[in-house]
Chain A
Amino acid sequence: MAKKMHIQMTVNGEEQEFLAEPRELLIHTLRERLNITGPHIGCETSHCGACTVTINGKSVKSCTMFVAQANGAEVTTIEGLGSPDSLHVLQEAFKEHHGLQCGFCTPGMITRASKLLEEIPNPTEEEVRFGMAGNICRCTGYQNIVKSILAAAAEMSAAKEAAE
Chain B
Amino acid sequence: MNKELSRQERADALGGMGCKRKRVEDARFTQGKGNYVDDIKLPGMLFGDFVRSPYAHARIKSINTDAAMALDGVVAVLTAADLAPLGLHWMPTLAGDKQMVLADGKVLFQGQEVAYVVAKDRYIAADAVELVEVEYEELEVIIDPFASLKSDVVLREDLVAEDGSLPDGAHGPRKHHNHIFTWEVGDKETTEQVIGEAEVVAEDMFYYHRTHPCPLETCGCVASMDKVNGKLTLYGTFQAPHAIRTVVSLISGIEEHNIRVISPDIGGGFGNKVGAYPGYVCSVVASIVTGVPVKWVEDRMENLMTTAFARDYWMKGKIAATKEGKITGLWCHTTADHGGFDACADPTKFPAGFMNICTGSYDIPVAYLAVDGVYTNKAPGGVSYRCSFRVTEAVYFIERMIEVLAIELNMDPAELRRINFIKKEQFPYQSALGWEYDSGDYHTAWDKALEAVDYKGLRAEQAQRVEDFKAGKTRSLMGIGLTFFTEIVGAGPVKNCDILGLGMFDSCEIRIHPTGSAIARLGTISQGQGHATTFAQILATEIGLPADSITIEEGDTDTAPYGLGTYGSRSTPVAGAATAMAGRKIRAKAQMIAAYLLEVHDDDVEFDVDRFVVKGAPEKFKTMKEIAFAAYNQAIPGIEPGLEAVSYYDPPNMTYPFGAYVCVMDIDVDTGVTDIRRFYALDDCGTRINPMIIEGQIHGGLTEALAVALGQEIAYDDMGNVKTGTLMDFFLPTAWEVPNYETDHTVTPSPHHPIGAKGVGESPHVGGVPCFSNAVNDAFKAFGLRHTHMPHDHWRIWQTANKLGLHG
Contacts and interface: CB of A to CB of B under 8 A. Distances in A.
A37 interface: yes
Interface in B294-322: 297, 299-300
B38 interface: yes
B267 A91 contact: no
Contacts of B33: 38
A101 to B, nearest CB: 4
Given A100-B26, A102-B215, A103-B25, A140 B696 contact: yes
A143 interface: yes
Contact of A143 (B266, B267, B741): B741
A156 B527 CA distance: 31
A78 B31 contact: yes
Nearest to B690: A98
Contacts of B34: 103-104, 106
B749 to A, nearest CB: 24
B702 A141 contact: yes
Contacts of A77: 32
B727 A43 contact: yes
B696 A37 contact: no
Nearest to A82: B31
A45 B736 CA distance: 19
Interface string A77-96: 11100101001000100111
Contacts of A146: 735
Contacts of A47: 726-728, 732
Contact of A145 (B32, B702, B735): B735
A94 B30 contact: yes
B419 to A, nearest CB: 33
Contacts of B736: 129-130, 133
Contacts of B696: 98, 101, 139-140, 144
Contacts of A24: 123
Interface in A1-54: 21, 23-24, 28, 31-32, 35-45, 47-48, 50
B529 interface: yes
A137 interface: yes
A95 B266 contact: no
Nearest to A107: B32
A128 interface: yes
| Chain A contact surface mostly | loop
B442 interface: no
B17 interface: no
B226 interface: no
A128 B266 CA distance: 27
Interface in B684-707: 692-693, 695-696, 699-704
B26 A48 contact: no
A106 B27 CA distance: 11
A100 B215 CA distance: 14
Given A47-B726, A50-B216, A141 B700 contact: yes
Given A138-B700, A142-B703, A105 B216 contact: yes
Max chain B Cβ within 10 angstroms of own Cβ: one of A94, A101, A132, A133:
A101
B634 interface: no
Nearest to B764: A141
A110 interface: yes
B32 A95 contact: no
Interface of B: prevailing SS = loop
Contacts of A87: 30-31
Contacts of A107: 29, 32
A101 B30 contact: no
With a 10 A CB-CB cut-off, give which of B31, B123, B528, B530 has the most chain A CB atoms.
B31
B773 to A, nearest CB: 18
B599 interface: no
B455 to A, nearest CB: 24
Contacts of A28: 122
B700 A78 contact: no
A44 B528 contact: no
Given A23-B123, A129-B735, A136-B727, A42 B32 contact: no
Interface in B271-306: 297, 299-300
B738 interface: yes
Interface in B83-112: none
A77 B33 CA distance: 12
B31 A91 contact: yes
Contacts of B522: none
Interface in B719-748: 726-728, 732, 734-736, 738, 740-741
B528 A102 contact: yes
A130 to B, nearest CB: 6
A44 B728 CA distance: 11
A103 B29 CA distance: 5
Contact of B300 (A43, A141, A143): A43
Contacts, number: 172
Q: B interface, how many residues as a size bin?
A: 35 or more
Contact of A141 (B28, B36, B699): B699
B214 A138 contact: yes
Contact of A102 (B527, B692, B741): B527
A42 B31 contact: no
Best-surrounded residue of B36, B297, B695, B699 (most CB of chain A within 10 A): B699
Given A42-B300, A102-B216, A105-B216, A141 B741 contact: yes
Interface in A108-151: 110, 128-130, 132-146
Contacts of A39: 32
B693 A98 contact: yes
A76 to B, nearest CB: 12
Contacts of A82: 31
Contacts of A31: 38-39
Interface string B627-646: 00000000000000000000
A95 B27 contact: yes
Contacts of B734: 132-136, 142
Contact of A133 (B22, B693, B695, B735): B735
Contacts of A40: 36, 38, 216-217, 267
B300 A139 contact: no
Contacts of A45: 300, 726-728
A123 B135 CA distance: 57
Contacts of B122: 28
B145 interface: no
B218 to A, nearest CB: 8
B731 to A, nearest CB: 11
B699 A144 contact: yes
A79 B738 contact: no
Nearest to A125: B740
A104 B34 CA distance: 8
Contacts of A141: 699-703, 738, 741
Interface in A51-70: none
A42 B215 CA distance: 9
Nearest to B693: A98
B509 interface: no
Most buried by B among A28, A44, A82, A102: A102
Contacts of A133: 734-736
Nearest to B528: A102
Contacts of B265: 102-103
A105 B74 CA distance: 33
B23 interface: yes
Given A37-B32, A105-B216, A138 B25 contact: no
A137 B26 CA distance: 15
Contacts of B218: 42
Contacts of B32: 36-39, 77-79, 106-107
22 contacts: A35-B41, A40-B38, A40-B216, A41-B297, A45-B727, A48-B300, A77-B32, A79-B31, A82-B31, A84-B27, A91-B31, A94-B30, A95-B26, A95-B27, A98-B696, A103-B25, A103-B26, A103-B30, A104-B216, A136-B216, A141-B702, A142-B734
Q: Which 3 A-B pairs have the closest CB atoms?
A: A38-B32, A103-B29, A102-B528
Given A31-B39, A100-B30, 8 more contacts: A23-B123, A28-B122, A37-B32, A78-B31, A105-B216, A137-B216, A138-B732, A141-B738
